[in-house]
Chain A
Amino acid sequence: MIIRNLTFSYKNKTVYKDFDLEIDEGKVCCVMGSSGGGKTTLLNCISGQLAYSGDIFYGQYADMNIDKAVVSYVFQQPRLIPSLTVEGNIKFVLEKKDKESVAKKVDSIIERMELKDCRRSYPSAISGGQASRTALARALVRDYDVLLLDEPFKGLDIKLKMQILTTLKPLIKGKTVVFVTHDVEEALAMADKIVVLSRKGDEAVNIVDQIVIDENVDDRDLYGANLNDIRKRIMSALTEC
């Protein structure tokens, strides 16, 4: 994905000005930075919710406009429809033309996200972890081009977070993912590239650091002792925000 000259203002304040970013196709890019630093705004531009100027291209050759992309978005809050069951919420985003194919896709994602026990429950009757998994299942059930994750594990305990991350990782392999997080360990566990953004006062967002994580680093043990150098570099970039 290529973002070129992204410019966006909100209430006469510039958030992005001629902002450039490249994310390799099929890779996970974690976006970090201080609160109010424009991370969610970036996702909202990519998802087409905000009117911006500039270009966002995607695809193997980054030659297609993002308007044409199938974008899946996991918001900070699960945003589940209270009148639909877990299964209904997942089905909500699918085209209903081929019922058999819809049923297959839904069954498969429910199985993989371990939502079998609550598939017929309404959102008011499920736990926070199940709600997060449902929101993820809804995003993953489609054949998407770009996946946007906006702090999807906010408020979950470490054990639950680890469980979901372990489930999620193989499911998004080979997909282009932009993952906003405040958690360094989450970023280290998921990212192929980590971008640290900074926005001071009313200034436009700028990139403090971009760290590409070597593909060969496979033994990413969440909260483990490896990747220490990268962890230190991220922490240093974050303190500059």
Chain B
Amino acid sequence: MRSEKISKILNIVLPIATMVVVVIVYAIVSKVVGIDMLVPSVPSTLKQFFSLFAQKSFYVAVFWTLVRAFISYFLAIVLAALLAFATYAFKPLRSALAPLIVLVRIMPTMSLILLALIWFDSFEATILVAFSVVFPMLYTAFADAFESVDKDLIEMARVYKVDTKTKVFSLYLPQMSSNIFTGIKSSIGLNLKLVIAAEVLAQTAKSIGIEMQFAKINLDTATLIAWTVVAIVLGALFEGIVRLIEKKAVKWK
């Protein structure tokens, strides 16, 4: 009981301590370099970070980046689930699609961004880039999730002629949840990172990416780091929400 309490406290204290160490190391590096334009001090970065919240353009940029991230992730997750189901129901389809999935997975992201920029406008290109990287990850997670459902339990449900709704919600989804959540946790933050990277290269208007690009052009490193912190906070927020849902959904574990 006592060791459980200590473990709970450590789980909260240790990550905070790590962050404090990172900030201290950064402050030391900043002090040693001594050039604010290269490595701005912690106070000036924080000042810049909080000043972002006072600007209307901040909310516009965050909103549109999140819209792009949401669209690409939504499309990726829906299509991945549908395709994984199709390949589960019709096994030869999985073998047929395997080379395509590998091709999309190993294709250099930079080639993808450049091609997307040639073929589409900047809004669509950012969505396509994030989708192309995240989709194979989610497809593999869903396909593995379908395969991970215990065959003995499927057989049992078939013998007892259990209705489809009960089978889906009481058997398939809980059995698949572990693989699905692992796939989502490893791709949701990456999706946001890819959207921002594509926004930088596509010079997408009203985006976090373009704000970072402006900061870089103006050699405003403090603002660039402040936007980076915003992106990290958003990514962490998404992952936190997913972890919370996972905790509620798989309480039986």
The answer to whether A81 touches B160, judged by C-beta atoms less than 8 angstroms apart, is no
| Bound Cα distance A174, B238 (Å) | 58
Residues on A with beta carbons closer than 8 Å to the beta carbon of B155: 49
The answer to whether A72 touches B171, judged by C-beta atoms less than 8 angstroms apart, is no
- Tell me if A84 counts as interface (CB < 8 A to partner B): yes
For chain A residues 55-99, which have a beta carbon within 8 Å of chain B?
70-73, 75, 77, 79, 81-84, 88, 92-93, 95-96
Cross-chain pair count, CB within 8 angstroms: 49
Q: Which secondary structure characterizes the binding site on chain A?
A: loop
Residues on A with beta carbons closer than 8 Å to the beta carbon of B159: 47-49, 71, 73
Residues of A in contact with B, size category: 20 to 34
Residues of B in contact with A, size category: 10 to 19
Residues on A with beta carbons closer than 8 Å to the beta carbon of B163: 95-96
- Rounded to whole Å, the gap between the CB of A207 and the closest CB of chain B is 25
For chain A residues 34-51, which have a beta carbon within 8 Å of chain B?
47-49
Residue of A nearest to B167 (CB): A92
The answer to whether A93 touches B162, judged by C-beta atoms less than 8 angstroms apart, is yes
Residues on A with beta carbons closer than 8 Å to the beta carbon of B157: 92
Residue of A nearest to B161 (CB): A70
| Bound Cα distance A95, B164 (Å) | 11
| Bound Cα distance A96, B166 (Å) | 9
Could you say which of A70, A72, A88, A95 contacts B170, with CB atoms under 8 Å apart? A88
A contact set with B: CB distance below 8 Å: 47-49, 70-73, 75, 77, 79, 81-84, 88, 92-93, 95-96, 122, 124, 138, 142
Listed A/B pairs (28) with beta-carbon separation below 8 Å: A47-B159, A49-B155, A70-B161, A71-B159, A72-B160, A73-B159, A73-B160, A75-B156, A79-B152, A81-B153, A81-B170, A82-B174, A82-B252, A83-B174, A83-B175, A83-B250, A83-B252, A84-B252, A88-B170, A92-B157, A92-B160, A92-B166, A92-B170, A93-B160, A93-B162, A95-B163, A96-B163, A122-B252
